[in-house]
Structure 1
Amino acid sequence: MTARPRPRKPSGRASLPAKWLELQVAAPQVIAHRLGRMATAGPVLSVRDQREFTHMLTEKQAAFWMSWWAMGTELCRIQSELTQASLQGVLTGQPAWIGMSWWQWPTAFQRVLESGLTPVHRRAVANARRLNRTRR
């Protein structure tokens, strides 16, 4: 008897619209779970609730800063590409503005948005999975 092969996870990253849609589904689930937990917690929090509420605050701060860092890094990459293209244009005798064509700007903007959305998406989807597994 041979073992069945495991199903492969899809390779590559999800696109920006797919991440946005997953975030729109996951975030309300997490908010509803946590608000329900806050409503039923009472004046004296259990250790589990204290841990969850503390985790909630620290992970939001971490996701925010990771998002800003990722967008800044992506902007630096784009600036580097623009500089390289401009220098290449100078060396070949073309005008400097030819380096990055106007139709490439939406792609660059999408890269910045996607890099900023990725940490938030990762946290929200992971929290939705984790909180949907736990008892209320």
Structure 2
Amino acid sequence: MQRIPLFNPFQAWSALALKTGEMLVASAEVIRHRSARLAAAGPLPNVRDRREFNLMGQEKIDAAAASAFAAGMRLMAINQQIGTMVLKQLISGAGSAFALAMQPALALSGQRQAALLRTAMLNSGTLASKLGNSAAQVAQHALRPIHAAATGNAKRLRKL
């Protein structure tokens, strides 16, 4: 899966939608193939069919476990990144507020207020963009194992 640029939530969500679409098409192909195989096998499937039917369940469990693990790992990393950003913003704001409180002149105080507000607004926008992008990244990491299983099965079953 390609790397998503920082601070571009639209591109991150669009890439997720594309991968989801690919996975859905592959899943439909796999379901069609396996349903036909189940119907053809009847009540007494042969060894090859039984092996394939057992594989169906195990693949779902493995993909779901890998997906949950990937999402959890990404969430932990994002939690640390966002915590760091919030702490930086807090320290920056506290320093600016302290400088504002220590201004002796009213004219300088107005300039400091404008600078404090500008910094707070810019930092808040950056943090909001990061949050939107982070949610898409968690979803992409969670989708990756399921996408790989579905597309891999579709390729494998085309050969049968």
TM range (shorter): 0.7 to 0.9
The residue aligned with 1:74 is: 74
CA contact (8 A) 1:86 1:98 kept: no
What's the CA shift for 1:84? Answer: 1.6
Please, what TM-score do these two structures have when normalized by structure 2? Answer: 0.69
Give runs of ≥4 in structure 1 deviating > 4 Å.
97-100
Q: Determine which of 105, 121, 125 is the counterpart of 2:131.
A: 105
Q: State the AA in 2 paired with 1:48.
A: R
Q: State the AA in 2 paired with 1:114.
A: Q
Instruction: Please tell me whether residue 85 in structure 1 is matched to residue 53 in structure 2.
Output: no
The residue aligned with 1:37 is: 37
CA contact (8 A) 1:26 1:124 kept: yes
CA contact (8 A) 2:71 2:139 kept: yes
**Percent identity of equivalent pairs:** 34
The residue aligned with 2:9 is: none
Aligned residues: 123
Change (3 A) 1:47 1:57: same
CA contact (8 A) 1:27 1:124 kept: yes
Q: Please say which structure displays the higher CA radius of gyration.
A: 2
* 3-state secondary structure, aligned to 2:52: helix
The higher relative CO (CA closer than 8 Å, separation ≥ 6) is in 2
Change (3 A) 1:98 1:13: closer
Gaps of 5+ in 2: 5-14, 95-119
Change (3 A) 1:118 1:103: same
Please, what TM-score do these two structures have when normalized by structure 1? Answer: 0.80
Gaps of 5+ in 1: 1-10
**Partners of 2:125 and 2:33 in 1: CA distance:** 49
